[in-house]
Amino acid sequence: MIVLVSVQHVSAQTLSSPAPSGARDFVEYWAAGRLFVSGGNPYSPRDLFELEKAAGWTDSVPLIMWNPPWTLLLMAPFVFFSYTTGQFLWLLFHVTLILVSVQQLWCVYGGAVTRSRTPWVLAVTYVPTIFVLIIGQITPVVLAALTGFLYFQHRKNFFAAGASAAILAVKPHLLYLFWIIFALWVWRTRYWRIVSGALVVGFSIAIVHLLIDPHVYSQYLTLCKTTDTLRPLDWLTPTLRTAIRVFIGPTHIWLQFAPSLAGIMWVLFHWYRHKNHWDWPEQLPCIVLVSVVTSFFAWTYDQVVFLPAIIEAAIWIERQLSPWHSFWTARIYIFINVCHALFRIWVADELWYFWLAPALLLNYIIFLREKKTNGVAETL
């Protein structure tokens, strides 16, 4: 109830005013997709602005889609409808992706064989899940790709696992540490079939985009070079990089990249320690958490990709003899989630949630320690 009330309040504050029908980010996908399939320039601020205003956008500047060109094909099925119908179908699509993903994650991490509603409850009560659906962001596709990678890799279907990994490129910056580990793992294991799956899907999508619009990549590069509009790195995102820029000072540019450099150093050390017994379902949640925490660009709704870690912890707690509320992991998670929901009632600015991802990472570390301690206790 707290989550629902706070979400309604915040959406009234931050979403309904500047964006049509409340789904702020879908309007940029819809407009860019329409321009793409009709032969226009999906990265033209002027053309985007015209379409967005026709859909009900009332802000004084256009909302630009900064995702790379290979993302546009995902929008194609939704742009042949009116904005309102497309938005509704987009919402249904993402709700389905999230619910199917958490159900499959439940299976991957060894949940009960019988179908359980627990993963659905965990998903819909997790605040970033609600916000990603309200805003209409594309991050549920990243969650589905992560789930597909785990699901198919667990079943030794390496081609399909590679194909799923390729879809992560819709937000390549978000899970940048995954790509480092992925490359090192493939080089060590020589599972070239997983590379072939990624390349086949990646190149196929790239070629289809070029067939539809031969200039789409040059149009994207032109947008990235523009100085006439705010670019993603100029926004006050809830990241450690932005917190350093705001609270320490914009002149310390080297310090702004310290979190990402620390993330790269950590992931290389982590790989060195675990490469001989690497297990993707076991290692991926921590890789995802550290990647988002140290990423130079991420939003709170992007934290929907933390659901594998939440599902993993929930299954382990469910198997223990002690009640769930006796574990610090569960207590701290509920505290963080409720605090996030309550703070949203008064603080809508995303910058002030730079603490959220690190807090969830710290709680996952506590979970790993509880898991290790209980495992030792069980063997005594």
Letter string b/e over residues 245-262, b meaning 16 or more CB atoms within 10 A of that residue's CB: beeeeeeeeeebeebbee
The answer to whether 267 and 180 have CB atoms below 8 angstroms apart is: yes
Letter string b/e over residues 43-68, b meaning 16 or more CB atoms within 10 A of that residue's CB: bbbebbbbbbeebebeeeebbbbbbb
The whole-angstrom separation of Cα 49 and Cα 84 is 17
Please state the rounded mean pLDDT for residues 106-114: 78
C-alpha 291: how far from its chain's center? 11
Q: Which of 364, 199, 175 is nearest to 260 (CA)?
A: 175
Residue 144 CA: distances (Å) to CA of 89, 199, 213: 17, 19, 27
Residue type, 43: Y
pLDDT at 348: 87
Tell me: the pLDDT tens digits for 295-309? 989 999 999 999 999
Please state the rounded mean pLDDT for residues 83-90: 93
Predicted confidence (pLDDT) at residue 165 exceeds the cutoff of 90: yes
Confidence label for 247 from pLDDT (cuts 50, 70 and 90): confident
- Return the higher-pLDDT residue of 337 and 233: 337
Predicted confidence (pLDDT) at residue 373 exceeds the cutoff of 90: no
pLDDT at 113: 58
Domain positions in the chain are 2-379
Whether the CA torsion 181, 184, 190, 194 is positive or negative: it is positive
Predicted confidence (pLDDT) at residue 199 exceeds the cutoff of 90: yes
The answer to whether 255 and 201 have CB atoms below 8 angstroms apart is: no
CB count, 10 Å around CB of 242? 21
Confidence label for 11 from pLDDT (cuts 50, 70 and 90): very low
The whole-angstrom separation of Cα 352 and Cα 299 is 11
The answer to whether 171 and 142 have CB atoms below 8 angstroms apart is: yes
When mean pLDDT is compared across 5-19, 27-41, 93-107, 235-249, the lowest value belongs to 5-19
pTM of the predicted model as reported, rounded to 2 decimal places: 0.91
Tell me: the pLDDT tens digits for 318-342? 888 888 888 999 999 999 999 999 9
pLDDT at 340: 96
pLDDT at 23: 58
pLDDT at 256: 84
The whole-angstrom separation of Cα 233 and Cα 31 is 22
